[in-house]
Amino acid sequence: MTGTDWGALGLNLAVTAAVAGAVLLATFAVAVRRRLHRIVDIAWGLAFTAVALATWLLSAGHGDDWRRLLVCAATAVWGLRLAAHIARRSRGHGEDPRYTALLDKARGNRTRYALRTVYLAQAALVWLISLPVQAASYSSVPLNALTFCGIAVWALGLCFEAVGDHQLARFKQDPSHRGRIMDQGLWAWTRHPNYFGDSLVWWGLYLLACTAWQPALAVLPSPVLMTLLLTVGSGKRLLEKHMADRPGYAAYAARTSGFLPLPPKKPAPAKGTR
């Protein structure tokens, strides 16, 4: 399998599984003490960053140095920005209704149920989704055109996500917007610019691992899984279920793309008019 040190990568995978688990278990301990499970959302980006940093350290001497640095920095920038954004957004708020609803399904001890279904599950997802980050770090293939294509996709995704988050935060800060649906800026083109940007970030990181057909196939489940989580998993689907009854949301959903950015649809003409 040309260009990748698969033996060293195998050891890396074992270590990063422990790293992801440690970050989420530490978060679990803090959440139980504070009785606030929403802080696990902050740990999501931090766990990816920890995996990327551990991989960068472990891969020294096994992969191309510039590729190692590039993939680690790209993951850390995305993860730390996301964690900081969620921390700011969550400040002063109580429990997230999603976690309340999830824990209400527990049969028996709610704390053990949370550990299994939230924290250990997220640790496994972090490890699996970060496979391109780990594989890219063990490739000896120098930077090439596909690498820069991946960085371009990553940068577009990060900008889309960050700008969308900023636009929504500013919209919510204006008291005159209370109770209104955000339909301005990027939110006029897609109902979820942050989720769309998130998906692009991971497709960009995937391209960094495509140094040969073998690693490209091996890590393909990563961006596919992240995209599915954002669209039909815990992202878009749950948020839209929560938003469905808000005044004006049905009309917004009718004219605005659900995920891919597209021009807003024009309102259908009233019956009897031309």
> Which tokens go with 209?
């691992």
The pLDDT tens digits of the residues spanning 6-60 come to 889 999 999 999 999 999 999 999 999 999 999 999 999 999 999 999 999 999 9
pLDDT above 80 for 236: yes
Cα 82–Cα 105–Cα 115 angle in degrees, nearest 5 = 50
How confident is the model at residue 106, as a pLDDT? Answer: 87
CA dihedral of residues 153, 155, 158, 164 (deg, nearest 10): -90
Q: Is position 165 within any domain?
A: yes
272 is a domain residue? no
Residue 263, in any domain of the structure: no
Other residues' Cβ atoms within 10 Å of the Cβ of residue 188: 18
Mean pLDDT of the chain: 92
| Closest residue by Cα to residue 70 from 150, 126, 129, 127 | 150
Query: Which tens digit of pLDDT belongs to each residue from 66-96?
Result: 999 999 999 999 999 999 999 999 998 888 8
Residue 266 lies in a domain: no
Domain that holds residue 45: 6-255
Tokens of 23: 């970050």
d(CA 130, CA 92): 31
Q: pLDDT tens digits for 169-197?
A: 999 999 998 889 999 999 999 999 999 99
Residue 97, burial from CB neighbour count under 10 angstroms (0-12, 13-18, 19+) = exposed
Residue carrying the six token digits 């191309």: 64
Does residue 156 sit within a domain?
yes
Paired with 139 in beta bridges are 4
What is the pTM (predicted TM-score) of this model?
A: 0.92
The Cα–Cα gap between 171 and 176 comes to: 9
Q: How many domains does the chain have?
A: 1
Is 262 part of a structural domain of the chain? no
| Separation of alpha carbons 241 and 161, rounded Å | 21
Give the sign of the dihedral formed by CA 238, CA 36, CA 17, CA 141.
Answer: positive
Residue 267 lies in a domain: no
